[in-house]
Chain A
Amino acid sequence: MREFSYERATDVSSAVALLETDPDARWLGGGTNLVDLMKTGVERPGRLVDVRELPLGRIESTDDGGLRIGATVTNSELAAHPEVRRRYPALAQAVLAGASGQLRNMATVGGNLLQRTRCAYFTDTSFPCNKREPGSGCPAATGEHRNHAILGASEHCVAVHPSDMGVALAAFDAVVAYESAAGGGELPLADFYLPVGDTPHLETALPPGALITAVTLPPAPVAAHSRYRKVRERASYAFAIGSAAAALDVADGVVREIRLAFGAVASRPWRASTAERVLRGQPAVGAAFAEAADAELAAAQVLDQNAYKVPLIRNLVVSLLTELAEETAR
């Protein structure tokens, strides 16, 4: 591991001033991804600025009835919070579906959004990788890619974003707040991750050196009736091969409001806007759910080994929405 200097930030403005002058620096949150990548040489920062003692560790209700989640709130604190569990249960479930109890105690909300792909070619520096070394190539496109993207990828990178939490945040229109030396700002999660295109090494729309300070969830009554389901190769403690967050409101057998997002299918948490549009106003029955999933997945581009994800996501949507519809009817 390369040697690095270390500072503990105590206020946001001096923290962002530190990173403005040093492109070789990285924020250190829980370190569950960054420290691992530093051990293998994927990340080689010359300076770490520890953000864990910044005053960003609270979850608060907003005036309009939403929630503001501080960037250094741990995954454990987020999933245990009564208002998260009451108003956005799929978010608590998504967080609990990720990693282990130990890692959730370390990992932060800001870090979760900025974690890197677990594509085996990205994490192994003996391989080329366009995300790690722009222009070096993508061995995954012709190599091992059974857990790679079916939506929104390009010939330059087919890696998926590993976050569970982000899938629920995408479904609930989360907004990421940040501070930077040039000033603060907000990015809807829909605009937070950049399209892959031919620049897979550029992952987010955050300005250089920006620090995520909070994630805000707007009020969403439908979110109180939501669920996250994750499919993986073992029962626990594994990354998704496909997942979905869904919220559903049914009146008189008709879909009044629907939120739907997928995980492990793209370089970002994938909001299924097309499926939502198709389903609004339709009967809340399995055939309509399947049709909506098909509409979203019509854009899928599969590789040799990951075509299974199309029926997997389709079946996930149907089962999840059917359960939510049955609970509404009760």
Chain B
Amino acid sequence: MAQATASPITLTINGEPHTLTVDHRTTLLDVLRERLDLTGTKKGCDQGQCGACTVLVDGRRIVACLQLAVATEGRAVTTIEGLAEGDELHPVQQAFLDLDGFQCGYCTPGQICSALAVLDEHAAGWPSAATDDVRPEAGPPALTPEEIRERMSGNLCRCGAYVPIVQAVAKAAGQAAETTEESAA
């Protein structure tokens, strides 16, 4: 008997469960865009080099173009469409708007999803290639512009809006830190 080349999967996207049958060759990116009409996630290079297709899977950022959809069975996917609460933008989205962290906008959904993860990864104490001393005793690095640039380096912007992108991420990080302090107070 020939082996199946398609399988049914169930995954959660922005809080909604979806069940569909996917050809095994289909990437998560193509499922989002072509099957579920969630076109906010963009196809740039389609080979894992540009970051335009960045989404969160179980809270971690990945590139959806190299993620086979069949391997996302049971996972929770968050896309750019899932960030705002009604008409209220996510603070990272608002920071990109406030600081003009984009020009044409094509890389922006990926930049914003990536930035969200950068804030989480930094809050969890993860070092980066820009961190001088990675030993845990050195403590978590401050989220300097250099750290933000390194941590966001998987997201290319061909318009070159990098300066305001870094400013937007820094602003969102500052707000997140204030919120944490308030809730701790």
B-binding residues in A (CB < 8 A):
1, 3-6, 8, 28, 30-32, 35-36, 38-39, 46-48, 50, 52, 76, 79-80, 82, 85-86, 89, 92-93, 96-97, 99-103, 105-106, 235-237
Contact = CB atoms under 8 A, between A and B. Distances in A.
B60 A36 contact: no
B127 A5 contact: no
21 contacts: A3-B24, A5-B24, A6-B24, A8-B71, A31-B67, A32-B66, A35-B68, A46-B3, A48-B24, A76-B121, A76-B126, A79-B134, A85-B135, A86-B136, A89-B134, A101-B117, A101-B118, A101-B121, A102-B54, A103-B66, A105-B60
B171 interface: no
A5 B136 CA distance: 43
Nearest to A36: B47
B5 interface: yes
A46 B3 CA distance: 9
A86 B60 contact: no
A5 B27 CA distance: 15
B82 interface: no
B3 A5 contact: yes
Contact of B154 (A39, A47, A97, A103): A103
B70 A102 contact: no
A30 B63 CA distance: 11
Contacts of B67: 31, 35, 106
Interface in B32-52: 46-48, 51
A12 to B, nearest CB: 18
Nearest to A85: B134
Given A32-B48, A52-B71, A237 B154 contact: yes
Contact of A6 (B7, B27, B125): B7
Contacts of A36: 47-48, 66
A174 B24 CA distance: 35
A4 B135 contact: no
B124 A102 contact: no
Contacts of B60: 76, 105
Contacts of B152: 101
B153 interface: yes
Nearest to B47: A36
Interface in B12-31: 23-25, 27
B114 interface: yes
Interface string B136-155: 11000000000001111111
